């Protein structure tokens, strides 16, 4: 895949993710997510921190671990997400405009790299769409997000390709690792759910049966858009 096309797909992934985050209300930041032990606030702060870290890496400063810290979203998760996403998009575009894009240092991935720019963009595209699903699942049904991604074959194809390339050996999965063991899925499972299963997530996870802390109401994303 050409770098320009990958950059466009990455921008589209961020747009779809931002549309989900736009629906988050401050009182919902305590909701449970598919990331065990991580409430919605933690997922969003991690996502914003990753935007910041990847942007720094694209501009040659990825080795600075301080750039990768989670970033508080306070009472405006959508604003924090969109602003950091815009900075990341600009940083990737700057890196991609070079005649020979420099590899990126990504200290939180594997041996830290350096990784080719296109591979780094693929990593973040996956991170973006999977965490968008985490957010949607915390709020209610994920159908709208999944359908939107699957309606764009190049986008869901890129997600599935990157997910399939994540090391699946026992030592690379499980407690303390970024992903759980690969899950089996029934024949005919859609590409987005297959990508989730490759990363160890349960595509059928739902927060709807969990008690909402403090009586907080959940939002049905599919109906709120």
Confidence at residue 210, expressed as pLDDT on a 0 to 100 scale: 62
Q: Among 113-117, 177-181, 197-201, which is the least confidently predicted range?
A: 177-181
Q: Can you give the residue ranges of every domain in the chain?
A: 3-224
- Cα–Cα dist 219/140, whole Å: 6
For the stretch 119-167, pLDDT in tens is 999 999 999 999 999 999 999 999 999 999 999 999 999 999 999 988 7
DSSP for residue 141: -
Q: Are 14 and 131 in contact (CB under 8 A)?
A: no
Backbone φ, ψ for residue 75 (5° rounding): -95, 10
Architecture of domain 3-224: Up-down Bundle (1.20)
- Single pTM value for the model: 0.89
For the stretch 182-197, pLDDT in tens is 888 888 899 999 999 9
């Amino acid at each position: 895949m050409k770098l320009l096309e990958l950059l466009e797909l990455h921008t589209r992934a961020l747009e779809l993710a931002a549309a989900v985050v736009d629906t988050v209300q401050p009182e919902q930041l305590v909701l449970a997510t598919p990331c065990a032990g991580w409430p919605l606030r933690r997922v969003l702060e991690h996502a914003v921190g990753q935007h910041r870290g990847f942007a720094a890496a694209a501009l040659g400063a990825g080795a600075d671990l301080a750039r990768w810290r989670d970033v508080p979203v306070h009472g405006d998760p959508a604003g924090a997400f969109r602003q950091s996403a815009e900075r990341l998009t600009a940083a990737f575009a700057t890196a991609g405009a070079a005649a020979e894009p420099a590899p990126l240092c990504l200290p939180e991935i594997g041996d830290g790299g350096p990784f080719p720019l296109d591979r780094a963009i693929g990593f973040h595209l996956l991170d973006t769409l999977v965490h968008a699903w985490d957010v949607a699942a915390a709020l209610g049904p994920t159908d709208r997000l999944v359908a939107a991604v699957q309606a764009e074959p190049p986008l869901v194809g890129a997600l599935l390709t990157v997910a399939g390339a994540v090391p699946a050996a026992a030592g690379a999965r499980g407690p303390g690792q970024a992903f759980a063991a690969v899950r089996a899925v029934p024949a005919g499972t859609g590409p987005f759910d297959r990508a989730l299963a490759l990363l160890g997530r349960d595509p059928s996870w739902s927060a709807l049966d969990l008690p909402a802390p403090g009586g907080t109401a959940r939002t049905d994303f599919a109906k709120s858009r």
